[in-house]
Chains A and B, each alone.
Chain A
């Protein structure tokens, strides 16, 4: 769990250097923290996995197009949550997003009063939603790896030893790995099928489970166009994110 104290540090670091050009390493860290914010806020708001994934993808696609220096990432994140709720039909009220976010940054404080500041903040969230829509040209409904992973899990379960399967939490682990992919821009860099295969591959490997290979490897049977390089690339990106977690906290 990230404490509220990390937020001022992140802001300070960003503000100090404003106008000094891009720093990809620091930007990656900021994005990591903001996505952590999206997920924690999303959890508290009761968002399901897919809307949360949509919120993260909206966030990354937005900052794929505009500079981080031009817009406040946490505001974009709040609007991404709001917009994702609309796109995925799990509507979330702006006031809930604002209250939960307020609590995230100022833990233990009382909710915001319904004063001018609150209304201005809400207007900002709503306006920023329109900005995201414009930047993304209304391309806001995405295909996610979740359904593929579910499908692959069901297929692989029938291939491996029943006892080995019941002893190991492959499904839970691969699902958790999948969620973690959304901490980085890797979630928009790889095909959804590839992410799903790679997280399952990593989960199976970590528990020493090996589905029997026929003429082709099990993952080739499940997904035609994936190569060992694709899988390695996803896993390498994911492991990189876990390295970063240590640096960000």
Chain B
């Protein structure tokens, strides 16, 4: 052991202290953000002089919205411009540093600016916490579905679905997978704007042979290839999840619900789509978790007999569901193709040519219909005047 060069030895312990003692004793948070990206500057009036992006005291938390493994989410208000924000406060465990989900969420969202992706405004760090500051969106699809049991109006389903696929098309074209699509992660504003959120499990795709962790998607929305242990999944993973969400919005109940493990989840899927064979799905028997006893005989059924709502709607709805919920991942429709599907042909044409950051509700004539339940309990409805005010802003 070279005594002179022993930066590791007791004689010269200083080199690894430098960071702690000199650099990180900063109690005030520091910014990593480009404040409002320049373009929105005219809106950014200042409430209090001296408050900056990235500083902890620039945000006031109002109420707790939720609690996760690594983070708590608060509704808050920006003291810089008075906007409502969602504050995702991530506790940093000293032994492991910043949780990898937070790193991935922040690094991916920083690159994404789209009307159907939740906007990351700012990042604040203090000594013990890291706070991601998001735009505040009033509710999510899970709550919306719970408030309107029995399925949503088909017009609204179409608008939500278009926005979901528009968001997916955007991230997929940037080689990013969401990997955790479910109603809880789809935020819904009062206007009906849908925004993809929770990118903690999202990842950028790299080389095609790259394998990912298979423990990523909530079971109900997980495609059969991933349930069978495939780790070379790609954009088709998110399409399956989106297909499940489409059925759930129509039916008011999850497409493949309520089971405890991969085996039962697969049986739910086989019960509708039929059990695959090496002939219908070449390579299925080579997947890591393939077990012959998991492949109990089951005939495919027509979707409209399983999900009754499809029988009441034009068959292009069922056609889109069929193209999304394919057993073989390579057969599933892409997000880009799905936006061209006849299911969306009743939407006004300008909706197809919007700039990334423009909401579909800027197109004249595009608006959410009142859900049936809200017609009978009008107290829950949002005042039209409020809607108009939001639309103008």
Stretch among A21-29, A33-41, A122-130, A157-165 lining the B interface: A122-130
Q: How far is the CB of B98 from chain A (nearest CB, A)?
A: 6
The answer to whether B96 touches A126 (Cβ under 8 A) is: yes
Question: Which A residue's beta carbon lies closest to that of B22?
Answer: A70
Residues of A within 8 A of B209 (CB): 150
Q: How far is the CB of A108 from chain B (nearest CB, A)?
A: 8
The residue that B94 contacts in the complex, of A83, A117, A123, A144, with Cβ under 8 A, is A123
Q: Given A127-B19, A140-B103, A146 and B206 touching (CB < 8 A)?
A: yes
Residues of A within 8 A of B213 (CB): 89
Q: Determine if A246 is an interface residue (Cβ-Cβ < 8 Å).
A: no
Chain B, residues 365-379, CB within 8 Å of chain A (1/0): the string is 000000000000000
Q: Determine if A131 is an interface residue (Cβ-Cβ < 8 Å).
A: yes
The residue that A140 contacts in the complex, of B16, B94, B107, with Cβ under 8 A, is B107
The residue that B107 contacts in the complex, of A4, A12, A139, with Cβ under 8 A, is A139
Residues of B within 8 A of A144 (CB): 206
- Besides A11-B7, A138-B103, A138-B123, 4 new A-B residue pairs in contact (Cβ under 8 A), listed by A number: A75-B18, A126-B96, A131-B24, A143-B175
Cβ-Cβ contact count across A and B, 8 Å cutoff: 126
Chain B, residues 71-110, CB within 8 Å of chain A (1/0): the string is 0000000000000000000001011111010011011101
Q: How far is the CB of B373 from chain A (nearest CB, A)?
A: 42
The answer to whether B98 touches A129 (Cβ under 8 A) is: yes
Q: Which of A125-180 contact B (CB under 8 A)?
A: 125-131, 133-134, 137-141, 143-144, 146-147, 150
The answer to whether B7 touches A105 (Cβ under 8 A) is: yes
The residue that A128 contacts in the complex, of B19, B30, B203, with Cβ under 8 A, is B19
Could you tell me the distance between the alpha carbons of A141 and B30 in the complex, rounded to whole angstroms?
A: 21
Could you tell me the distance between the alpha carbons of A141 and B13 in the complex, rounded to whole angstroms?
A: 32
Residues of B within 8 A of A143 (CB): 175, 204
Q: Given A105-B7, A127-B20, A130-B24, A138 and B94 touching (CB < 8 A)?
A: no
Residues of B within 8 A of A105 (CB): 5, 7-8
Q: Which of B14-48 contact A (CB under 8 A)?
A: 15-20, 23-24, 30, 32-33
A selection of 15 A-B contacts at a CB cut-off of 8 Å is A50-B207, A72-B15, A75-B18, A86-B100, A87-B100, A105-B5, A120-B16, A123-B20, A126-B96, A127-B19, A130-B97, A131-B19, A141-B204, A143-B204, A146-B207
Residues of B within 8 A of A94 (CB): 95-97
The answer to whether B1 touches A126 (Cβ under 8 A) is: no
The answer to whether B103 touches A137 (Cβ under 8 A) is: no
Interface residues of B (CB under 8 A from A): 1-2, 4-8, 10, 13, 15-20, 23-24, 30, 32-33, 92, 94-98, 100, 103-104, 106-108, 110-111, 123, 125, 175, 203-204, 206-210, 212-213
Residues of A within 8 A of B110 (CB): 137-139
Could you tell me the distance between the alpha carbons of A134 and B6 in the complex, rounded to whole angstroms?
A: 29
Chain A, residues 63-106, CB within 8 Å of chain B (1/0): the string is 00000000110110000001100111101001000000010011
Q: Determine if A7 is an interface residue (Cβ-Cβ < 8 Å).
A: yes
Question: Which B residue's beta carbon lies closest to that of A122?
Answer: B95
The answer to whether B32 touches A134 (Cβ under 8 A) is: yes
Residues of A within 8 A of B100 (CB): 86-87, 89, 91
Helix, strand, loop or mixed for chain A's interface? helix
The answer to whether A121 touches B16 (Cβ under 8 A) is: yes
Could you tell me the distance between the alpha carbons of A125 and B20 in the complex, rounded to whole angstroms?
A: 10
The answer to whether B97 touches A126 (Cβ under 8 A) is: yes
Residues of A within 8 A of B33 (CB): 137
Q: Determine if A214 is an interface residue (Cβ-Cβ < 8 Å).
A: no
Could you tell me the distance between the alpha carbons of A74 and B18 in the complex, rounded to whole angstroms?
A: 13
Q: Given A89-B100, A141-B104, A12 and B5 touching (CB < 8 A)?
A: yes
Question: Which A residue's beta carbon lies closest to that of B101?
Answer: A86
The answer to whether A133 touches B210 (Cβ under 8 A) is: no
Could you tell me the distance between the alpha carbons of A133 and B262 in the complex, rounded to whole angstroms?
A: 37
The answer to whether B19 touches A89 (Cβ under 8 A) is: no
Q: Given A75-B16, A130-B24, A141-B204, A87 and B103 touching (CB < 8 A)?
A: yes
Could you tell me the distance between the alpha carbons of A9 and B24 in the complex, rounded to whole angstroms?
A: 29
The answer to whether A134 touches B95 (Cβ under 8 A) is: no
Could you tell me the distance between the alpha carbons of A112 and B1 in the complex, rounded to whole angstroms?
A: 13
The answer to whether B104 touches A147 (Cβ under 8 A) is: no
The answer to whether A82 touches B210 (Cβ under 8 A) is: no
Q: Given A8-B2, A127-B24, A150 and B208 touching (CB < 8 A)?
A: yes
Question: Which B residue's beta carbon lies closest to that of A142?
Answer: B204
Q: Determine if A109 is an interface residue (Cβ-Cβ < 8 Å).
A: yes
Q: How far is the CB of B367 from chain A (nearest CB, A)?
A: 36
The answer to whether B7 touches A138 (Cβ under 8 A) is: no
Could you tell me the distance between the alpha carbons of A147 and B175 in the complex, rounded to whole angstroms?
A: 12
The answer to whether A133 touches B96 (Cβ under 8 A) is: no
